[in-house]
Structure 1
Protein backbone atom coordinates (compact mmCIF):
# COMPACT_ATOMS: atom_id res chain seq x y z
CA UNK A 1 0.00 0.00 0.00
CA UNK A 2 1.16 3.55 -0.68
CA UNK A 3 0.80 5.95 2.22
CA UNK A 4 0.61 9.63 1.39
CA UNK A 5 0.89 11.85 4.46
CA UNK A 6 -1.14 15.00 4.83
CA UNK A 7 1.43 17.47 6.10
CA UNK A 8 4.79 18.98 5.31
CA UNK A 9 7.20 16.12 6.15
CA UNK A 10 8.51 15.58 2.63
CA UNK A 11 11.58 13.59 3.72
CA UNK A 12 9.47 11.20 5.80
CA UNK A 13 7.05 10.83 2.91
CA UNK A 14 9.82 10.01 0.41
CA UNK A 15 11.41 7.46 2.72
CA UNK A 16 8.03 5.92 3.46
CA UNK A 17 7.19 5.75 -0.24
CA UNK A 18 10.54 4.05 -0.94
CA UNK A 19 9.93 1.55 1.89
CA UNK A 20 6.42 0.74 0.70
CA UNK A 21 7.62 0.24 -2.88
CA UNK A 22 10.24 -2.20 -1.59
CA UNK A 23 7.63 -4.33 0.17
CA UNK A 24 5.38 -4.51 -2.90
CA UNK A 25 2.67 -2.14 -1.70
CA UNK A 26 -0.18 -1.68 -4.17
CA UNK A 27 -3.10 0.20 -2.62
CA UNK A 28 -3.49 3.87 -1.83
CA UNK A 29 -4.30 4.97 1.69
CA UNK A 30 -4.51 8.56 2.92
CA UNK A 31 -3.27 9.06 6.45
CA UNK A 32 -2.06 11.98 8.51
CA UNK A 33 1.66 11.89 9.34
CA UNK A 34 0.75 11.41 13.01
CA UNK A 35 -0.92 8.06 12.22
CA UNK A 36 2.13 6.13 11.00
CA UNK A 37 3.26 3.13 12.94
CA UNK A 38 6.46 1.17 12.36
CA UNK A 39 8.00 -1.71 14.24
CA UNK A 40 11.53 -3.02 14.58
CA UNK A 41 11.35 -6.60 15.73
CA UNK A 42 13.49 -9.61 16.59
CA UNK A 43 12.37 -13.13 15.80
CA UNK A 44 14.03 -16.24 17.20
CA UNK A 45 13.96 -19.97 16.64
CA UNK A 46 13.82 -22.50 19.47
CA UNK A 47 17.58 -22.85 19.12
CA UNK A 48 17.85 -19.04 19.37
CA UNK A 49 18.83 -18.19 15.82
CA UNK A 50 17.90 -14.52 15.40
CA UNK A 51 16.33 -12.38 12.69
CA UNK A 52 15.92 -8.59 12.87
CA UNK A 53 13.41 -6.77 10.69
CA UNK A 54 11.32 -3.62 10.30
CA UNK A 55 7.74 -3.30 9.12
CA UNK A 56 4.71 -1.03 9.07
CA UNK A 57 2.32 -3.90 9.88
CA UNK A 58 3.75 -6.26 12.48
CA UNK A 59 0.90 -8.75 12.48
CA UNK A 60 0.90 -9.11 8.70
CA UNK A 61 4.70 -9.45 8.63
CA UNK A 62 4.61 -12.15 11.31
CA UNK A 63 2.03 -14.04 9.28
CA UNK A 64 4.36 -13.86 6.26
CA UNK A 65 7.31 -15.17 8.28
CA UNK A 66 5.20 -17.97 9.73
CA UNK A 67 3.87 -19.03 6.34
CA UNK A 68 7.32 -20.46 5.61
CA UNK A 69 8.07 -18.85 2.25
CA UNK A 70 10.51 -21.28 0.57
CA UNK A 71 14.06 -19.99 0.35
CA UNK A 72 13.64 -17.36 3.07
CA UNK A 73 16.04 -17.17 5.99
CA UNK A 74 13.23 -17.48 8.54
CA UNK A 75 11.82 -20.59 6.84
CA UNK A 76 15.23 -22.24 6.45
CA UNK A 77 16.05 -21.87 10.15
CA UNK A 78 12.47 -22.09 11.48
CA UNK A 79 12.61 -18.57 12.94
CA UNK A 80 9.10 -17.43 13.79
CA UNK A 81 8.93 -16.58 17.49
CA UNK A 82 8.50 -12.84 18.19
CA UNK A 83 10.80 -12.22 21.17
CA UNK A 84 11.28 -8.44 21.02
CA UNK A 85 9.81 -5.39 19.29
CA UNK A 86 9.86 -1.61 19.42
CA UNK A 87 7.28 0.79 18.01
CA UNK A 88 8.07 3.99 16.09
CA UNK A 89 6.04 6.81 14.58
CA UNK A 90 8.62 7.78 11.97
CA UNK A 91 10.08 5.44 9.36
CA UNK A 92 13.47 7.14 9.56
CA UNK A 93 13.75 6.32 13.26
CA UNK A 94 12.70 2.72 12.68
CA UNK A 95 15.22 2.25 9.85
CA UNK A 96 17.99 3.77 11.96
CA UNK A 97 17.16 1.48 14.90
CA UNK A 98 17.04 -1.62 12.69
CA UNK A 99 20.47 -0.77 11.26
CA UNK A 100 21.80 -0.14 14.76
CA UNK A 101 20.57 -3.50 16.08
CA UNK A 102 21.94 -5.38 13.07
CA UNK A 103 25.41 -4.02 13.87
CA UNK A 104 25.25 -5.22 17.48
CA UNK A 105 27.01 -8.39 18.60
CA UNK A 106 24.97 -11.48 19.28
CA UNK A 107 25.53 -11.08 23.04
CA UNK A 108 24.21 -7.49 22.93
CA UNK A 109 21.08 -8.65 21.09
CA UNK A 110 20.51 -11.45 23.59
CA UNK A 111 20.91 -9.01 26.50
CA UNK A 112 18.33 -6.67 24.90
CA UNK A 113 15.86 -9.53 24.47
CA UNK A 114 16.38 -10.90 27.98
CA UNK A 115 15.96 -7.47 29.56
CA UNK A 116 12.33 -7.32 28.39
CA UNK A 117 11.57 -10.99 27.72
CA UNK A 118 13.81 -13.15 29.97
CA UNK A 119 12.02 -16.41 29.13
CA UNK A 120 11.99 -15.77 25.36
CA UNK A 121 8.20 -16.20 25.22
CA UNK A 122 6.46 -15.64 21.90
CA UNK A 123 5.06 -12.12 22.31
CA UNK A 124 2.63 -12.66 19.44
CA UNK A 125 0.75 -15.47 21.17
CA UNK A 126 -2.98 -14.77 21.17
CA UNK A 127 -2.71 -11.95 18.63
CA UNK A 128 -4.85 -12.58 15.51
CA UNK A 129 -2.58 -12.74 12.47
CA UNK A 130 -5.11 -13.26 9.71
CA UNK A 131 -6.06 -11.06 6.75
CA UNK A 132 -8.85 -9.39 8.75
CA UNK A 133 -6.18 -7.12 10.22
CA UNK A 134 -5.56 -4.51 7.52
CA UNK A 135 -5.37 -1.06 9.13
CA UNK A 136 -2.31 0.30 10.87
CA UNK A 137 -2.50 0.91 14.59
CA UNK A 138 -2.00 4.61 15.38
CA UNK A 139 1.25 5.34 17.16
CA UNK A 140 2.44 8.04 19.47
CA UNK A 141 5.52 10.20 19.30
CA UNK A 142 8.97 8.54 19.06
CA UNK A 143 10.33 11.10 21.52
CA UNK A 144 8.70 9.54 24.60
Structure 2
Protein backbone atom coordinates (compact mmCIF):
# COMPACT_ATOMS: atom_id res chain seq x y z
CA UNK A 1 0.00 0.00 0.00
CA UNK A 2 2.85 2.37 0.81
CA UNK A 3 4.46 1.77 -2.59
CA UNK A 4 1.19 1.76 -4.52
CA UNK A 5 -0.43 4.87 -3.10
CA UNK A 6 2.43 6.82 -1.53
CA UNK A 7 5.37 5.89 -3.76
CA UNK A 8 7.35 4.52 -0.82
CA UNK A 9 10.60 2.82 -1.74
CA UNK A 10 11.52 -0.56 -0.33
CA UNK A 11 14.18 1.18 1.73
CA UNK A 12 11.66 3.63 3.21
CA UNK A 13 9.32 0.76 4.07
CA UNK A 14 12.09 -1.46 5.40
CA UNK A 15 13.50 1.22 7.70
CA UNK A 16 10.09 2.47 8.91
CA UNK A 17 10.03 2.49 12.71
CA UNK A 18 7.03 2.42 15.02
CA UNK A 19 8.13 5.82 16.32
CA UNK A 20 7.67 7.20 12.77
CA UNK A 21 3.90 6.69 12.99
CA UNK A 22 1.47 9.23 14.39
CA UNK A 23 -1.83 7.55 15.22
CA UNK A 24 -3.50 10.82 16.20
CA UNK A 25 -2.95 12.46 12.81
CA UNK A 26 -2.74 9.24 10.73
CA UNK A 27 0.63 10.25 9.33
CA UNK A 28 4.08 8.74 9.19
CA UNK A 29 7.60 9.84 8.43
CA UNK A 30 9.09 8.15 5.39
CA UNK A 31 12.80 8.33 4.65
CA UNK A 32 14.09 11.77 3.70
CA UNK A 33 10.68 13.24 2.93
CA UNK A 34 10.44 16.78 4.25
CA UNK A 35 6.99 16.38 5.81
CA UNK A 36 4.97 13.63 7.46
CA UNK A 37 2.96 11.64 4.91
CA UNK A 38 -0.81 11.71 5.54
CA UNK A 39 -2.25 8.24 5.04
CA UNK A 40 -5.58 7.45 3.46
CA UNK A 41 -7.98 5.25 5.47
CA UNK A 42 -7.11 2.07 3.54
CA UNK A 43 -3.35 2.45 4.07
CA UNK A 44 -3.83 3.40 7.72
CA UNK A 45 -5.98 0.29 8.21
CA UNK A 46 -3.27 -1.94 6.72
CA UNK A 47 -0.59 -0.23 8.83
CA UNK A 48 -2.75 -0.69 11.93
CA UNK A 49 -3.07 -4.42 11.16
CA UNK A 50 0.71 -4.66 10.70
CA UNK A 51 1.31 -2.95 14.04
CA UNK A 52 -1.20 -5.26 15.77
CA UNK A 53 0.54 -8.30 14.26
CA UNK A 54 3.89 -6.90 15.35
CA UNK A 55 2.60 -6.42 18.92
CA UNK A 56 1.56 -10.09 19.04
CA UNK A 57 5.17 -11.01 18.22
CA UNK A 58 6.28 -9.52 21.57
CA UNK A 59 9.39 -8.00 20.08
CA UNK A 60 11.46 -5.02 21.11
CA UNK A 61 12.57 -4.45 17.52
CA UNK A 62 11.70 -0.80 16.73
CA UNK A 63 10.77 -1.43 13.07
CA UNK A 64 7.24 -1.86 11.75
CA UNK A 65 8.21 -4.84 9.60
CA UNK A 66 9.62 -7.61 11.76
CA UNK A 67 10.57 -11.02 10.39
CA UNK A 68 11.49 -14.27 12.12
CA UNK A 69 15.13 -13.30 11.65
CA UNK A 70 14.80 -9.78 13.07
CA UNK A 71 12.28 -10.51 15.84
CA UNK A 72 14.93 -11.05 18.51
CA UNK A 73 17.17 -8.13 17.48
CA UNK A 74 16.90 -4.50 16.47
CA UNK A 75 17.83 -4.79 12.79
CA UNK A 76 15.50 -3.90 9.94
CA UNK A 77 14.16 -6.58 7.62
CA UNK A 78 16.59 -7.47 4.87
CA UNK A 79 16.54 -5.90 1.45
CA UNK A 80 15.97 -9.36 -0.04
CA UNK A 81 12.94 -9.93 2.18
CA UNK A 82 11.22 -6.78 0.98
CA UNK A 83 12.23 -7.45 -2.63
CA UNK A 84 10.43 -10.80 -2.58
CA UNK A 85 7.56 -10.21 -0.17
CA UNK A 86 5.14 -9.60 -3.07
CA UNK A 87 6.39 -12.39 -5.35
CA UNK A 88 3.00 -14.13 -5.26
CA UNK A 89 1.23 -11.12 -6.79
CA UNK A 90 3.73 -10.98 -9.65
CA UNK A 91 4.84 -7.38 -9.18
CA UNK A 92 7.92 -6.37 -7.21
CA UNK A 93 7.66 -3.33 -4.91
CA UNK A 94 10.05 -1.41 -7.16
CA UNK A 95 7.68 -1.75 -10.13
CA UNK A 96 4.70 -0.70 -8.04
CA UNK A 97 6.54 2.38 -6.77
CA UNK A 98 7.80 3.28 -10.24
CA UNK A 99 4.28 3.08 -11.65
CA UNK A 100 3.09 5.54 -9.01
CA UNK A 101 5.99 7.93 -9.65
CA UNK A 102 5.40 7.78 -13.42
CA UNK A 103 1.77 8.72 -12.85
CA UNK A 104 2.62 11.57 -10.48
CA UNK A 105 5.56 12.82 -12.56
CA UNK A 106 3.42 13.04 -15.67
CA UNK A 107 0.41 14.55 -13.93
CA UNK A 108 2.18 17.08 -11.70
CA UNK A 109 5.35 19.11 -11.92
CA UNK A 110 8.27 16.64 -11.58
CA UNK A 111 10.17 19.13 -9.41
CA UNK A 112 7.28 19.21 -6.94
CA UNK A 113 7.13 15.41 -6.93
CA UNK A 114 10.88 15.27 -6.23
CA UNK A 115 10.54 17.75 -3.36
CA UNK A 116 7.59 15.90 -1.83
CA UNK A 117 9.36 12.56 -2.03
CA UNK A 118 12.71 13.85 -0.78
CA UNK A 119 14.34 13.01 -4.11
CA UNK A 120 16.98 14.84 -6.12
CA UNK A 121 15.15 16.90 -8.79
CA UNK A 122 17.02 15.06 -11.55
CA UNK A 123 15.80 11.70 -10.19
CA UNK A 124 12.18 12.59 -10.90
CA UNK A 125 12.97 13.20 -14.57
CA UNK A 126 13.57 9.50 -15.25
CA UNK A 127 9.88 8.89 -14.54
CA UNK A 128 8.69 11.22 -17.29
CA UNK A 129 7.00 9.43 -20.14
CA UNK A 130 8.24 9.89 -23.69
CA UNK A 131 4.65 10.28 -24.88
CA UNK A 132 2.27 13.16 -24.20
CA UNK A 133 -1.41 12.30 -23.95
CA UNK A 134 -3.16 14.52 -26.54
CA UNK A 135 -6.05 15.07 -24.10
CA UNK A 136 -3.66 16.89 -21.76
CA UNK A 137 -2.56 19.41 -24.38
CA UNK A 138 -4.35 22.76 -24.52
CA UNK A 139 -6.92 23.01 -27.27
CA UNK A 140 -6.39 25.97 -29.65
TM-score under structure 2 normalisation?
0.27
Q: Give the alignment's TM-score, normalised by structure 1.
A: 0.27
Q: Which has the higher helix share?
A: 2
Bigger CA radius of gyration: 2
Kindly indicate which of the two structures has a greater share of residues assigned to strand.
1
